[in-house]
């Protein structure tokens, strides 16, 4: 499995790249993992969809929506940019 570390967003301090890599970028597994960390189902679903769309764009894929359109303004405010470690 190839890991993808180019998504540099965290939701409530949880790295979306780490969640995606652990879940092999399977949406429901990502939702379950985020919910297990204490997020509501609605938040977990929004952040998982955001991460998948962001990943698609960053890896040259096509997405039906802008990642920002998949989260509410309040959820957007909970996202933070993770600085690269290199």
Phi, psi at 54, each rounded to 5°? -60, -45
Better pLDDT: 46 or 65: 46
Domain boundaries, the chain: 11-78
Answer yes or no: is pLDDT of 27 > 50: yes
More confident residue, 59 or 18: 18
Judge residue 48's burial from the number of C-beta atoms within 10 Å of its C-beta, 0-12 exposed, 13-18 middle, 19 or more buried: buried
pLDDT of residue 7: 65
Any idea which residue has 């379950």 for tokens? 32
What is the model's pTM?
A: 0.85
Does position 3 have pLDDT exceeding 80, yes or no? Answer: no
The predicted structure's pLDDT at residue 2: 47
Q: How far is CA 57 from CA 29, 34, 35, 50, 66, in A?
A: 21, 22, 25, 11, 9
* Average pLDDT of span 57-75: 84
């Amino acid at each position: 499995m190839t890991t993808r570390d180019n998504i540099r967003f965290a939701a409530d301090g949880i790295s979306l790249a780490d969640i995606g890599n652990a879940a092999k970028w399977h949406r429901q597994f990502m939702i379950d993992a985020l919910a297990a960390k204490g997020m509501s189902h609605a938040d977990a679903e929004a952040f998982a969809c955001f991460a998948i769309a962001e990943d698609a764009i960053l890896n040259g894929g096509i997405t039906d929506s802008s990642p920002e359109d998949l989260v509410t303004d309040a959820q957007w405010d909970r996202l933070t940019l993770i600085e690269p470690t290199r």
